[in-house]
Amino acid sequence: MAEPSRRALLAGFLSMLLPGAGQLLRGARRRGIVLLAASASLLVVLLAVVAWRGRAGLPVLDRRLVAALLALDLALLGLRLFAVVDAARGTRTAAARVVLAALVLATVLPHAAAGYVTVRSYDVLETVFAKEEPRDVLPSQGLFVQALARPPLRYPGIAAPPSAPRPAPVEEPRYDQPLGGSSQVLARAQPAAGKPWTTILLLGTDEGPGNAGARTDTMILVAIQHGTGRAVAFGIPRNFVEVPLGGEIDGTEPAGKPKRFEQPLNGLYGFARTQPALFPGGRDPGATALKQAVSTMLGVRVDYYALVNLLGFADLVDGLGGVRILVKERLVDEVTRPAWGEPKPRIDVVPGRRYLFYGREALAYVRSRKASNDYTRMARQRCFLSAMAGQLDPVRLLRNFPGLARTVETNVSTDVPLRRLPALIRLVGGIDAKRTLTETFGKTYIASRRKLDNYPLPKLGLMRTAVREAILDPERASASRGLVSAGESC
C-alpha cells in the first residue's frame, strides 16, 4: 500500500475516533477546526441536556422522544461519516478502498445498534406498559382507603355452621367508617411531612408446565415515599381465605360479585380472569381483583401492579447476569420447571455463604419451602428482589438486550402508565435499604383456621393497624413488633 494511502487511512481512522482530527493531520486546518468545533458543540449540548434532566427528572417517554433520539443519532452519524470519508480522500489502491469501507462500516455499526435499541426498547415499553392511569384503584384519602364496608359473615359448606363453637371474636376497627375515625388505629390520617406515596403490588405466578391456570404464590405490596428514601414492603400470605374483595369504584357493584373470596388468596387471580365482568377498570381482571382485595385487606391504596411468571423471572435473572445472595438457611430442594423439556430447578446451599444465582437456581431459591414455610419463603423473596434491584449492571443489560426484550414482552405485565415510568425509575432508584421496613403477615395475623381445610382467616383489623403504624410511625413499629430494615434483615 502506497504511503499516501496509508496516511489517508490513518487520517480517516483518527476522524472516526474524533471528527476533525484526521483533517488536522492532513493539513486541512480550517476544516478540521470546524469539525472539532461541531463535535465539541454537540457534546456540550448533550452534557447540558443530561445535567438539566438530572435535576428536572427523566423525559417523558413517547414517540417524540424516540424521533428526537433517532434524529440525533443520524446527525452524529452523518457528521462522523463525512469526517472519515473526507479525511481519507486520496486512497488509490483496491486494498486501501477495502480498509476505508471497513472504517465506514465501523462508523455506522454503533449508530445502527443505538437506533435498533432505541426503537426496540420503545416497542417493548409500549407493549408492556399502559397507555393511561388504571381505573381500578379504590377511592382513598391520601394513602389510606376512604371507607371499608364490612362484608356480612358467611358460612359456606366448607366452613363451620352458625351453631358450631366459634373462637373468641377478634376486636377490629369498624369497617363502615373511614379508618381515621377508629380509636384503635393511629390518630394521624396521613403520613408525616405530607410527602406523597406510590404503592406497587408485585406478583409472581406459578404459571408453568403442569400447573393449571396461574396462581399468585408471590404477593408483595411495596409502598414508597417520594423524596425521603423510605419504603415499606408487606409480604402477603398466599393461603389466606375469606378475604374481602374490593369495594365499589363508581358507586355500583357488578351483579353477582361475591363479597369475600372463599378460596386461598393465590387463586383469586385465576378466578377473576374467568369472570372479567366482575372486576372492571384495569388491563387485567386478575390483577384488578388482587389490587382491590389487598387494598381492602390492608386499608391502603394500591396504585399499580407488576406481574412476572416463572419463565420470565428465570430469564430476567439470567439477562441481568445473576444475583449475589448471602444465604441464611440450609436449602435442598427442587421446584416446578419454568418450561417443558427442562429439568426441575434444584437448590443446594448452606447458610453463611454468598452465592451467585443464575435464573433456574434463583427460581429454586425463591420458591423453595420444603424445609421451611411460606413466611420464611416470603422473607427470602423480598431479600432477593432487593438484591436484584441493587445489582443492576447497565453494560450487561445492553449486552443481553435482545433476549431481555423478548422476555419482558412475553412474560411481564403491568398497569404502570408509560409516561410514569421515568418518575417511577427515579423513585425506586432512591430507595434506601436502611430506611426500608419489611413485614410478613405471619401467625400473629391469623384470627382462626377454617375447620374443614385448616386454611387461615386473617385478622384484618390488626393487619390494617400494623400497616398504618409501619407507614406513619416506623420507630414505633420497629420497637413494638421488632421490625428491621431491609438492609439489616437481608
Residue 119 and residue 147 in one domain: no
Looking at residues 18-23, what average pLDDT do you find? 92
172 belongs to a structural domain = yes
Cβ contacts of residue 459 below 8 Å, gap of 6+? 170, 172, 444, 445, 446, 447
Looking at residues 66-86, what average pLDDT do you find? 91
SS3 111: helix
334 belongs to a structural domain = no
Residue 103 and residue 172 in one domain: no
Residue 18 and residue 39 in one domain: yes
Last residue of a domain, one of 97, 128, 159: 128
Q: Residue 177: which pLDDT band, with cuts at 50, 70 and 90?
A: very low
Angle of helix 94-128 relative to helix 401-411, nearest 10 degrees? 20
The whole-number pLDDT of residue 52 equals 64
**Where residue 381 sits, what CATH number does that domain have?**
3.40.630.190
Name the residue with cell 435499541. Answer: 117
Residue 100 and residue 144 in one domain: no
Looking at residues 283-299, what average pLDDT do you find? 94
Residue 176 and residue 288 in one domain: yes
Residue 78 and residue 193 in one domain: no
The whole-number pLDDT of residue 53 equals 56
The whole-number pLDDT of residue 291 equals 96
346 belongs to a structural domain = no
Q: Residue 421: which pLDDT band, with cuts at 50, 70 and 90?
A: confident
pLDDT per position as a tens digit, 396-414: 777 787 888 888 888 899 9
344 belongs to a structural domain = no
CA-CA distances (angstroms) from residue 15 to 7, 41, 76? 12, 16, 13
Least confident span in 14-23, 283-292, 384-393: 384-393
Residue 205 near residue 216, CB atoms below 8 Å:
yes
The whole-model pTM stands at 0.77
Residue 113 and residue 145 in one domain: no
Residue 49 and residue 82 in one domain: yes
8 belongs to a structural domain = yes
Residue 198 and residue 270 in one domain: yes
Residue 388 and residue 289 in one domain: yes
pLDDT per position as a tens digit, 101-144: 999 999 999 999 999 988 998 898 899 999 999 999 998 888 99
- pLDDT at residue 163 greater than cutoff 50: no
Please give the Cα distance from 460 to 169 (Å, whole number): 12
166 belongs to a structural domain = yes
Last residue of a domain, one of 77, 94, 128: 128
Please give the Cα distance from 151 to 144 (Å, whole number): 19
Residue 177 and residue 259 in one domain: yes
434 belongs to a structural domain = yes
The whole-number pLDDT of residue 185 equals 40
Looking at residues 314-319, what average pLDDT do you find? 88
Query: Which grid cell is 260?
Result: 369475600
Tally of domains within the chain:
2
The whole-number pLDDT of residue 97 equals 87
Please give the Cα distance from 256 to 44 (Å, whole number): 62
The whole-number pLDDT of residue 155 equals 37
Residue 119 and residue 146 in one domain: no
The whole-number pLDDT of residue 3 equals 65
Host domain of residue 24: 3-128
* Strand boundaries in 320-384, DSSP class E: 323-326, 331-334, 346-349, 354-357
100 belongs to a structural domain = yes
Q: What is the DSSP string of 400-459?
A: THHHHHHHHHHHEEE--BGGGHHHHHHHHHT--GGGEEEEE--GGGEEEE-TTT-PEEE-
- Share of residues in the chain with pLDDT > 90 (%): 40
- At residue 300, φ and ψ (nearest 5 deg) are -125, 155
The whole-number pLDDT of residue 45 equals 79
Last residue of a domain, one of 128, 160, 180: 128
